Each structure stands twice: as structure tokens, then as C-alpha cells.
Amino acid sequence: MSLSDYADDGYFAPKKIAALLATTQDDLAQSVGLGRDAVTRRDRIRAAKTQRRLREMVEVLNKVTPRFGSPMMAYAWYRSQPLAGFAGQTAMQLSQAGRSMDVLEYIDAVDAGIYS
């Protein structure tokens, strides 16, 4: 998916992201470790922390979507698949803890054949 599919007026749009992933804004907020207000109130949506968390999730999803065939399947992986080497934590749990870069590096390592 193109980044513009997730954006509105130059900002990541939680409503669009939730619709593309067939989920709710509340679920989306929980998935990135934010409160409901962060993805529903206009002033909070544009906050740096909200935008950073949404961007990080979109980066992860965009990186794995070709592997799973759809953004929805990539989102299911993000939320539920434990990652090797991270004590059984999922990409979502790592992202919630501010470790999205670790998730992206893990995906790159899997693509390079380091992990299976």
C-alpha cells in the first residue's frame, strides 16, 4: 500500500488506517500503545508521538504486506506472531514498548536468511 492510502492532509489518519485494516480506531490505538483520545481527537492525532507511533506501525506493515498478501493479514501477524529472539513478544508488543526499529531490523534479518 502507498503511504498516501494511510494519510490525510499530510498526516497519518487513524480513521483511514483502521478502515484499511478492517478494525476500529480503539483497536488501532491499543495496537500502537496509545490511548483512544490520541487517535480520535484532532489535536492529539497531529501530535508528534501519535504520528511517530502510527508511522512506525505503517512501516512495519508495509515491509511485511508482500509476504502475507494483504495489509489485513500483515496486521494479524503484527498483533499475534511471536518473534524469535524477543522472548515470545509480538511486533505489536515491541512497538508498544518503543522498539519498532528492532522489529524492522528483525524483518530485514529474516529476509536475509538469518532467522527463520
The per-residue pLDDT for 24 is 96
Distance CA 112, CA 116 (A): 10
Q: In this predicted model, what pLDDT tens digit does every residue of 62-94 receive, in sequence order? A: 999 999 999 999 999 999 999 988 999 999 999
What mean pLDDT do residues 8-12 have? 91
Distance CA 4, CA 30 (A): 23
Q: Which range (8-12, 43-47, 112-116) has the least confidence? A: 112-116
Residue 115: which pLDDT band, with cuts at 50, 70 and 90? Answer: low
The per-residue pLDDT for 1 is 63
Cβ atoms of 25 and 40 within 8 Å: the answer is: yes
- Cell numbers at residue 97, please? 514498548
How is the chain split into domains, by residue range?
3-111
Please state the φ and ψ torsions of residue 47, each to the nearest 5 degrees.
-65, 145
Please state the φ and ψ torsions of residue 12, each to the nearest 5 degrees.
-65, 130
